[in-house]
Amino acid sequence: MWYWIDIMVGRWRFLWLACLFIIVWVTTVPGNVFVGHSHWFLVKWVPFQDFRLSFEYLSDLAGNVLLFVPLGFSQLRLDSRLGRSGIPGALAVAILLSLSVELFQVYSHGRAPSVTDVLCNGVGASLGALTARWETGPVTSSRPRHTRALGDSDSRTACKPDLAGDG
């Protein structure tokens, strides 16, 4: 199956899109009734303002973190294939997605938007990206890069072989 996905869209892009779909579905569909008016009075602007050591609250925090771990992981893997730095990109994507979901929840019944959720989602994506970085090592591109040698002011001579044979 992965062979055909790699040919069509690429494995990491497919997993990244699947993560986006799952996150949007889990955070917007169950128990939501979208209405045409806002509920700004329900927004919890101060992070962890209602913190308590209850199973329900701690499982909500853990769920928010764990939901975004696969997104951060697949974002870093996708970015590394494109030759970009992934951890800031994964964090930015997670924060933007989380803010979008929380804004949607402002206009929904049955959901309470919270800054705590945005922070936990960012932590989850960062953990996923760090896990991918740990697993794969430093980000390297599959494209060749031409770099200048130390102390070489002319980039045209950096790629030339050492003809003198000094080392």
Angle of helix 11-28 versus helix 55-81 axis, rounded to 10: 150
* Domain extent for 56: 52-141
130, part of any domain: yes
38, part of any domain: no
Q: What is the pTM of this model?
A: 0.71
100-148: per-residue pLDDT in tens? 999 988 888 878 889 999 999 999 999 999 998 887 766 554 544 444 4
Return the ∠ at Cα 34 (arms to 101 and 100), rounded to 5°: 15
Quote the pLDDT of residue 85.
65
> Average model confidence (pLDDT) for the chain?
78
In the structure encoding, which two tokens stand for residue 119, read together? 């922070």
34, part of any domain: no
- How many domains is the chain partitioned into structurally? 1
Quote the pLDDT of residue 149.
47
Residue 64 neighbours by CB under 8 Å, 6+ apart = 116, 117, 120, 121, 124
State mean pLDDT over 86-104. Answer: 90
11-30: per-residue pLDDT in tens? 788 888 999 999 999 888 76
